[in-house]
């Protein structure tokens, strides 16, 4: 049967198992939206109308982070596409599998400065894993097949498919390819055996090792394998901001998060280790600080599916290119063989005792001040009330770091945030995507008053579809992290970081039909949280917290981990 391109797009999504699409319509994609209203139900596809194109990308990203499945966003040409670029860049930095469909002017008008024309493939070339401009309707279905394959394999990432309006109007017979073959794209899954053997030998011999887990462990689903490696080799284990939850926070070997706002004991362990075993992490600047001082004296093992990451930021003594789960399985097998051959794992009692002493010396702490609500206490209570089982989507700033430090993620895919790009406004719409994907789980967006004001129009989205996201607003009337840096590194000159002028958030939520609660004193925190978390449907929970609370520890930008400020 002949179909127009718009219907072929939807049929292709059905073939890929897509159930949810986050989008915003416009002139160049009206054929697609016309087919959606006619066929979405029979195709089993639900479209969520967000209130800004950026939120469609963040929603799709939250969906991907909470499930590991490919998220799908649909926006129109020109400003629709350019509004989506921040979301695309965010997915690129955090290696999230997304397929993004953008409208484009008809092919005969491309390059003609037509209304709502923008060169979206050119604009997104540096922040997509790959992008396509469909110029012949016969290419549409194979291109979509290829886009989903590229987005979700190897190092995941966003793939953009630009659709000129005439491509969605022309009709052809629909045929969807069962397989796809791309000669130039062959991700390396298995680690080279000799490299694995050398790495495992170093792991057995190390006396002060640290296992360092990144987001690649989530992408590969390597949870059981990294846990077994840690336990068999008695490895102190730390996670990056993006890796939290890949290793249980309550595990006796867990060191929590490392880096700029990592624990004192964690950073000291990394700084003094003799072997750093990286699985699915990329040694970014928020982790290493001053690169020349990072883990001086240690040997580095680096497991990554993206060969370009190895040796990019730090020298590597034992490189292993491959999928995190597969390589970890190879390592476990190799470990058994070497132990069976007489190798003995080096004792680490003194190493663990030293790390415990560091933790006792400088644990996470905060000072109570009468009735003033401390944001750390809010996160502590959130963990206690939810038993650490909620899906938590943080925005970007101080609240993000307090949540990363204190919530304690034991399960994978329960922690969502914008780690690489650091895009304010991510937390709320990402929680929407997570709640759509996991309707049986409690989804909490932990946001600040700065980031929330960038996306608060999405209150309409959660109300329209009754998406039961609980928005925990940590309100200090400042762009908190900016203010903290201005206090600590710019001699208290608070330049344009005061945002006291703001709406009454409870009344604002009420105007959208969203239930809201507020706490202004410490003794109101627990009751207000319990009431908000137990109220059906979307809820806003505002906490008026200490205005000038700081996140500690902090490693000043460009400083070494050992130079962290503790209070």
Element (H, E) at 187: none
Active site residue 481: yes
79 and 482 Cβ atoms separated by less than 8 Å: no
Active site residue 453: no
- The Cα–Cα gap between 24 and 80 comes to 8
Q: Which tokens in the block code for residue 157? A: 């990432």
Residue 97 neighbours by CB distance under 10 Å: 28
Active-site choice (116, 205, 228, 354): 116
Active-site choice (93, 424, 481, 522): 481
Pairing assessment for the beta strands 171-173 and 2-4 based on DSSP bridges = antiparallel
- 3-state SS string over 406-469? HCCCCCCCCEECCCCCCCCCCHHHHHHHHHHHCCCCCEEEEEEHHHHHHHHHHHHHHHHCCCCC
In 286-390, where do the E strands start and end?
299-304, 318-321
Active-site choice (165, 299, 348, 413): 165
437 and 468 Cβ atoms separated by less than 8 Å: no
Task: Name the 3-class secondary structure at 385.
Answer: helix
Active site residue 367: no
CB burial of residue 113 (10 Å; 0-12, 13-18, 19+): exposed
The gap from C-alpha 516 to its chain's centroid, in whole angstroms, comes to 27
Active site residue 115: yes
454 and 424 Cβ atoms separated by less than 8 Å: yes
Active site residue 300: no
- The residues near 433 (Cβ < 8 Å, ≥ 6 apart) are 22, 58, 59, 60, 61, 62, 63, 64, 65, 66, 71
What phi and psi, each to the nearest 5 degrees, are found at residue 306?
-100, 105
522 and 372 Cβ atoms separated by less than 8 Å: yes
Active-site choice (2, 38, 41, 115): 115
Active-site choice (16, 35, 53, 146): 53
Known catalytic residues are 53, 115-116, 165, 481
């Amino acid at each position: 049967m002949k179909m127009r391109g718009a219907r072929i797009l939807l049929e292709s999504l059905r073939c890929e198992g897509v159930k949810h699409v986050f989008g915003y319509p416009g002139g160049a994609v009206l054929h697609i939206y016309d087919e959606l209203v006619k066929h979405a139900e029979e195709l089993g596809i639900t479209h969520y109308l967000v209130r800004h194109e950026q939120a469609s990308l963040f929603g799709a990203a939250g969906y991907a982070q909470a499930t590991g499945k490919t998220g799908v966003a649909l926006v129109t040409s020109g400003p629709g596409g350019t509004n989506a670029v921040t979301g695309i860049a965010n997915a690129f930095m955090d290696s999230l599998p997304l397929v993004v469909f953008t409208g484009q002017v008809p092919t005969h008008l491309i390059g003609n400065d037509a209304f709502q024309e923008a060169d979206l493939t050119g604009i997104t070339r540096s922040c997509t894993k790959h992008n396509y401009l469909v110029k012949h309707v016969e290419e549409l279905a194979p291109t979509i097949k290829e886009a989903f394959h590229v987005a979700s394999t190897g190092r995941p990432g966003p793939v953009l498919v630009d659709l000129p309006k005439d491509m969605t109007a022309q009709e052809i017979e629909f045929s969807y390819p069962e397989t796809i073959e791309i000669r130039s794209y062959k991700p390396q899954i298995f680690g080279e055996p000799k490299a694995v053997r050398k790495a495992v030998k170093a792991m057995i011999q190390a006396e002060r090792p640290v296992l360092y887990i990144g987001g690649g462990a989530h992408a590969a689903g390597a949870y059981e394998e990294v846990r077994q490696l840690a336990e068999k080799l008695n490895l102190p284990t730390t996670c990056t901001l993006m890796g939290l939850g890949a290793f249980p926070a309550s595990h006796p070997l867990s060191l929590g998060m490392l880096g700029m706002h990592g624990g004192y004991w964690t950073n000291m362990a990394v700084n003094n280790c003799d072997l750093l075993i990286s699985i699915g992490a990329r040694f970014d600047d928020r982790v290493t600080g001053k690169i020349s001082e990072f883990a001086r004296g240690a040997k580095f093992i680096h497991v990554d599916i993206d060969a370009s990451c190895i040796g990019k930021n730090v020298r590597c003594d034992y490189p292993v290119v491959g999928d995190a789960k597969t390589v970890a399985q190879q390592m476990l097998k190799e470990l058994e063989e070497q132990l069976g051959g007489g190798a003995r794992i080096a004792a680490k009692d003194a190493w663990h005792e030293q790390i415990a002493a560091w933790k006792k010396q400088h644990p996470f702490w905060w000072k109570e001040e009468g009735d003033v609500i401390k944001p750390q206490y809010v996160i502590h209570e959130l963990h206690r009330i939810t038993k650490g089982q909620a899906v938590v989507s943080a925005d970007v700033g101080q609240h993000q770091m307090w949540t990363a430090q204190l919530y304690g993620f034991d399960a994978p895919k329960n922690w969502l945030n914008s780690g690489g790009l650091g895009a304010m406004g991510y937390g709320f719409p990402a929680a929407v995507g997570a709640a759509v994907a996991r309707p049986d789980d409690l989804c909490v967006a932990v946001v600040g008053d700065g980031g929330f004001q960038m996306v608060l129009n999405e209150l309409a989205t959660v109300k329209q579809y009754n998406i039961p996201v609980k928005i925990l607003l940590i309100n200090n009337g400042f762009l908190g992290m900016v203010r903290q840096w201005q206090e600590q590194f710019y001699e208290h000159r608070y330049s344009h970081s005061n945002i006291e002028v703001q709406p009454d958030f409870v009344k604002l939520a009420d105007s959208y039909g969203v239930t809201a609660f507020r706490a202004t004193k410490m003794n109101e925190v627990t009751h207000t949280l319990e009431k908000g978390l137990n109220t059906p449907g979307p809820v806003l929970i505002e906490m008026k917290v200490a205005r000038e609370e700081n996140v500690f520890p902090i490693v000043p930008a460009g400083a070494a981990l050992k130079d962290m400020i503790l209070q």
